[in-house]
Amino acid sequence: MKKLVNFFLLVILLLEITISVDSQNPSLLKFVLQWPPTFCIGLNSAAPPGRCKEPILQHNLTLHGVWPADQRGYSITCPVPPDPDWNKLFTTTLENQLMAFWPPLRENAQKRDLWKHEWRAHGACGGTTPQVYFNTAIKINNMLQKGNLFNYLKTSGIIACDSLSFARKDIVDAIQKVFVSTPLTVYLTCIPIDATNRTHIYLSEVTLCTNLGGTSFISCPSQANPTSCSSGARIMLPHPKPQ
C-alpha cells in the first residue's frame, strides 16, 4: 500500500512538473492594445504619480506590447537575455514603422525605452530574435485592415466621449469586424472611474490573440480572460484629462 501511495505521489509530482514546463512554452501571441487616455489617468493616480506626453493621443489605440502566452492564455516569463546591439537593430525605417502604432506614452520616455522594455519582459520569452519580434508586431498591426482598432469601434458607434457609455457586448461585437469570418474571443480590460462609481468603468486594454507566428488571428483562451469589464457596468472611452 505504501509503495502504491508513493507511486501516485510520484505521478502527481511528474504531472505538476510537466504542467509547469508546458505552461512556459509559448503557444500563441497576445497583441495588447491600450486606450491612451485611460493609461494616462491610471499613471496620474499612481504612487508616485506620473505624467504622459502631451498632447495625449485620443484617436487611436496604441500597442502596449506583444506577449507570448501559454496554451491557457497566460503570459509566460523567462530569464532576461543579454541586450542586442540596439543601435544596429533600430534602423530609421524600423523606428518609423513602430512609432506609427507603438509610441511611448510616458512623459520624458525615449521612443526606444518602451520597445526595449517589452522585449526584455516579454519578447525574449517567445524564442525569437529581437528583429523577428518587432517585425512580428508590425505584421500583426498590418492585419488590421482599417489601420487601427479604434476605426473598427467608430464604425459601430463606439466613440471616445465623457457622456456616452457602452455595453461590453457592443464593444466586443464591434471588434469582431476585424476577423474575416469566424467570431473570435478577445480580452477587454477595464479600470474603475473612482471608488464611488460602480455603474461605469473605463476601457483600458483590448487584447487580440494570434498564432505564434503572428500570421493569423485566433481566439484568446477562456482561462485567462480578464473579468474587470464583466461586472455589468457600462464602459466608457474617456477623453484626456488635465494632468
Q: What is the CATH number of the domain that holds 105?
A: 3.90.730.10
Mean pLDDT of 121-143: 96
Mean pLDDT of 196-225: 95
Mean pLDDT of 14-28: 54
Q: Is residue 8 part of a domain?
A: no
Q: Is residue 3 part of a domain?
A: no
Q: What is the reported pLDDT for 149?
A: 96
Q: Is residue 15 part of a domain?
A: no
In contact, 67 and 122? CB cutoff 8 Å: yes
- What is the model's pTM? 0.89
Query: What is the residue range of 146's domain?
Result: 26-236
Indicate the number of domains in the chain. 1
Q: Is residue 5 part of a domain?
A: no
Q: Is residue 243 part of a domain?
A: no
Mean pLDDT of 177-200: 92
Burial of 210 (0-12, 13-18, 19+ CB in 10 A): buried
Q: Is residue 55 part of a domain?
A: yes
The C-alpha atoms of residue 77 and residue 10 are separated, in whole angstroms, by 26
Range 51-62 burial, b when 16+ CB lie within 10 A, else e: ebeeebbeebbb
Q: Is residue 6 part of a domain?
A: no
Q: Is residue 91 part of a domain?
A: yes
